[in-house]
Each structure stands twice: as C-alpha cells, then as structure tokens.
Structure 1
Amino acid sequence: MGVQYGHVVGSKIHRSGDWAMYAKGGSAYLRVEGNEIYDAGTGGFTAGQGTGFEFMTSPWLHYEAYDIKVVNNIIHDTQGAGLGVNGGYNIVMAYNTLYRVGSRSHVIEVVYGERSCDGNSPQCSTFLAAGGWGTSLVGVIESIPNRNVLIYNNIVYNPAGFQSSSQHFAVYGPRTPSAGSNIPSPSYADEGLQIRGNIIWNGPADHPLGLEDSRLNVSQVMADNSMGTIQPQFVNAAAGDFRPTTTSTIFAATTYAIPAFTWTGLPARPSVPTGILLNAVPIDRSGAPRSSPGTAGAYAAQGIAAVRPTAPTLLHPTVGNTTATLTWTAPVRNGGSPITDYIVKRSANGGTTWTRIVRPVSTLTSYVATGLANGTAYVFKVIAVNAVGISLPSATSSPVTPVSVPSAAVLLSVVAGNTTATLTWTAPVSNGGSPITDYIVKRSTNGGTTWTRIVRPVSTLTSYVATGLINGTAYVFKVIAVNAVGISLPSATSSPVTPALPA
C-alpha cells in the first residue's frame, strides 16, 4: 500500500485466501512483469482496491493506483477475477495469460475503489483540504473512479468444466459521490477504458459480457476481441506450461498496438508527478523479442512445437452378446495439440497379433466393439491421435470373453408311455460362449396355451422321462437351454402325445 517507484518481476505469488496481490492506497509507477500468480481467493492482481484515507501519502491522494503496468504474467486458479482495476489512473494490463480464473463471478473487472476514514478524522480532513479524494467521516465509504485503463492482448482460457459463474467482465456504471469529497461528479469506472485484442475462452457462447452498465460500445468490444471464437492451445496448460504450440490458434487472433498515455485529467491539487507514458512491451515472458502488436498472451509468436500425446489409460472392458464396451481416460498430456481421434485395436490371441477396429473418427473416450465371437477371449488397447501423430498404446486390457444366452435346443422326439413321455433333444448349436448348465422342460395339456415347468434335478443330459402324466390326456412339450448368462428361447413345441396303458 502506498508504494511508489518499484517493480515486482519474476516472482511466484500464491496460496492466498483473498487477493494474491494488489497495489493500492496511492501506489504509483510500478511494473508487475513476468510473475506467476496463482491459488488465490478474491483475485489475482488488482491495481487499486480500498484504503483508509489517513494512511495515504501526499501527493498521491486521488486514485488508488497510478501508472501501473501489468504485463507478461501467468495468472491461474483464482476464484475471483484474474485481473482487476479498482480506482486506477493510467493502468495497462497487457500480454498476460489467465487460466482457470473467475469461478466466483467474472474473469476481469474494472470497478470502483473505495475510500474511507478509519478513525483519524483530523488527518482525513487535512488531506481533503489539500485536494485529496475521500471523506473525514468515519463509517462513510466513497467510490474512487478509474481513468485510462488499457486491457490489451491478454488470453483468458477457462477449459471445459471451468468457467466464470456469472459473466466475462465486471464494469460498473456511473456513481454520484458525496458533496465535499472532491471526487468528480458523476464519477465513472470506465472513463478512457479500452478492451482490445484479448482472447477470451470462457463458458458458453451466450455467456453475458457484463458490460450492461458501462458506457462501452458492446458491438465494438465484440469486434475488437476474440470472444469465444478461438480456443488457445498451449504445450500443457494443466501442468503449468502456457507456451503456445506452433500450430496454436492464438496466432490467428487480431491484436493491437498499445497506445501511449498522456498525463492529463488529474486534479491540480495536489499535483502528482508524471509517470511513464509509453506502454511498449518489447519482450515476452521468456525474454524473447516481441514485435508490436505481436501475439496475445505472455509468450510471443515463435510458438513451441507440438509433440505426440501421451498414452490414454484403458479401463477394464465389460462384455455383452458379441460385444465389449471399452472406456478410457484421455492422455495426461495432449502434446500441445488437441486429440483428434482414438485408434482401438483388438486381439484374439492374447496380444500376439492385433486387428484395428474400423470405426468413425471420434474423440469420445468410450466405444462398443461389436461383431465379436462369443466364447472367445479378447484383449484391447487404445492409441490417441493428434495433429503430430499417434501416442504409445495404452496398457493391454485384461482378457474378456463375450457371452450370450445359448441358442434354442432342438426337441427331436417325444414318445408316450404309461403315464410317461420320453423326450430326446439335441444341444443348442451355440452355447453363447458359456457352457450349458441345465435344461428346463415344460409341459402343457391345452395345446401350449399355458405351461407347467417340470420339477427335475439339474442336468445337462439331452433326454428325460416325464412321469406322473395322466393317461388319455394329450401333452405337448418344449425344452429351454440354460447357461451362466441366462436362458435360451424355447425349442419348437412338440407334436401332441397321449400316454396310455400298454395294449
């Protein structure tokens, strides 16, 4: 707070429950460059915020922050906005890469700072008399506006499954400060605000902009930025490598040269020393030269060559009737190029030889292999594909054997006797890949309208003598095969037979 003439460069700033970093209370002439800011609550980096008036230093008594240049930073995993300006003058936020930011509400904010008097009313009154902005009344909070905020050529990439909960931006509308606060009335959060050349990949296509209360031309903002139209490709963002691949789509985005500032529009009292007016960013995060306007994000346009992906992870297949359902997880690293397909292979000899399964191109991570032979053990493997080539195969699955219920048995003959009938049948042509474990025998005395299962011991024999029948009554029979999967369709119903006493 209240820091002038300095820099924060090449640092890691992380693990904060609130803001990871802000420069407020009249902080001025700071360059924040080449840092990694991550694992934060309320926000990543904010120029300005809120200050007790009496703690400020003259002459920086108006804005919360002056001449802050925030460039070439990586900002990731923040619940609040990755970048924010809360009461700033001549603020540049350019060529930063933001990843997984804004889950609470929005990804970038340009809103008001706050000014209070926290108990030392005489000092607050002294600063008011000197021309500072604020209040001498304890418990009153004044809103501090912004002027000349440039948000240029940043990348905001929230991957699938992560998005800001409400909108892309937060830019507040005009406010009327209290009389005697010295703050211009009305005051604006968006005076001189420019949002240009940014790549925003965050949420659905109809995600609200969050500019409804601002004076910005929404159509112009949409034209000047890539809003949901370009999905960045990095070498491995999930593992913290935010260098673009040589084939990354970010190179297709339009960017803009950052204009220089003027040092005008400030109150005459107290007079604030002039800051740095040029806003050039001549190198990227790695130190490589950056042409103007160059490529959006922290790394310049030379890119990084994509490589083949790592192997996917194949989970245990499940089997059905001539089928096997395969599920796998995507590679941990896509090699800096999106996965475009998966190759699925099968083997019926334990992996000695392999057959590629012909299937449509797909990036889904599951597939049902069909046309398998029931009773045959299969193993599988999956290979990921990107624009560079194919991965190593997944580990070979454990063997699985498709099975089904058996086909129907063939009832050959039924010979009647004295209160008996002797049945003979042949086993099913196909046991479904699982051994026959029993046969169910049923009888009917009404031509097959209703059936009674004959109670008999479990048996895989293909003949049976039905006893206890009534002489003079016509019977029909059918037989059903059983395996571990279930029961077959019944055999054809036999011709009627009538038990009788011997002649």
Structure 2
Amino acid sequence: RPSPPEGPLEVSDIHKEGCTLKWKKPKDDGGEPIEGYVVEKFDPETGIWQPVGRSKTPEMEVTGLTPGHEYQFRVKAVNKEGESDPLTTISSIIAKDPFVVPSEPGAPNPVDWNQNQVDLVWAEPTSDGGSPITGYIIEKKDKYSGIWEKALETTGCSPQGLVTGLVEGNEYQFRVIALNKAGMSKPSEPSKTFIAKPRYLPPKIDRRNLRDLTISAGSALKLDANIIGEPPPHVEWRCSHQPIK
C-alpha cells in the first residue's frame, strides 16, 4: 500500500456549500502507481466519516455541504494494493460564506420630483459585508395602505433611484434595502413624508371667490384668496399700488 498523502491537507475557498482541498502526493507509492485519492468528510453531528468523492489529482472541489455545519476532511491514496492511511485536516471548518449581508443604507431623501415621480438619494451602507453592493431595493408606503411594497430595484452600487407611478396629492414614505452576494440588508430608516406634487409651479390665483365689496370707512376687512404655486409663493395684498397692512 502507498504511504499517506503528504500534508498539510489545505482547505481554501470556503463557502456555505463547499470548499477546495489540496494536498501532496505520497512519498512512497508502495511499488505500484497511484491511481487516485479517496476524500471523506466528518460531520461532528453525525459522528461518521462519509465519502465525498474520488480524485485523480491531489486536489478536489468539495460540494454538497450543509450550510452552517462543521466539517473535517481526510484523504487516502489508492493503488492496486489498496488504500493508504489517511491524511486529516488539522482543524475543522464551518461551511459558510466569507461574507455577510450589508449594513442598512441611510434614509432616502428626495432631490428632484414632480407630481408623479421622485428622485431619491441615500447614504451607502457603512459596511458592504465583505462583498460589493450589487443593487438596491426601494420600497414605498402610502398614507392610506400602511403597507411597504417594492417600488424599484436598481443594479450597481450607485445610491440613488427614480421612483415613478406616484399619485398626485398622495403622501408617501420610502425606505431602501442594500443587496450583495449574501442577500438583503435590513431596511433603512423611513424617509420623511413626501407629498407627490409639482416641484415648480407658477403662482396662480383662484379668482372664483373674488368680488367687489363696499364697506364703511374705518371698518375691518378680511381678505382671503386661494393662491397656489410651488415653491409656495410670497403673497402681498395691495391697494392703488400700495401694500395693505
């Protein structure tokens, strides 16, 4: 029989479902050519060595691990005379990704809008979890439903997005979720309440309620008119080109 493979038995590229194993050929092939290697795994929860597979070269891509489980590995050299004694990993590994989900982004803020859409920006997550940000999900909630629903999913790492399909006059809040290879972050804090309305609207006076009045000298007069515009216009009442105070 051959001598055991030469160590160490190296474990690399660990992720939640597998890893890579590498070792060296035995110093002594036992007088017969090495035909390959048998790889086994040990799960402390079962207490049993189980076959992983065979390899013709001194390395192997291990798949089919259970995420979160602890494992050890061993490898045996094989020739016509049988299997060698095993070479075992020095320590166990845990099947998990080398990265986690990102931290939550900052609360979104509107930077441009009209009555049907809003352009939002937010602060990037303080941590990408060890894997680049691949996109963001923007959720919206209107005043009447109270339910968060997906409004937009972006791709790339740019912390901004244009949400469309808003109803003029409705009140909305928005929040953002960051994405990476591990999954979704926790949602950001909600935005301040946003009313879907034009950002720029020329001042307009509703003249339907304006009419001539006759009053006695020295009497008090209350002036009232519906004036709209965005941003809200400055209103000044005048009589004969003189401001009324």
Q: Which has the higher strand share?
A: 2
Relative CO higher for 1 or 2, CA cutoff 8 Å, sep ≥ 6? 2
Normalised by the length of structure 2, the TM-score is 0.45
Normalised by the length of structure 1, the TM-score is 0.24
Structure ID, larger Rg:
1
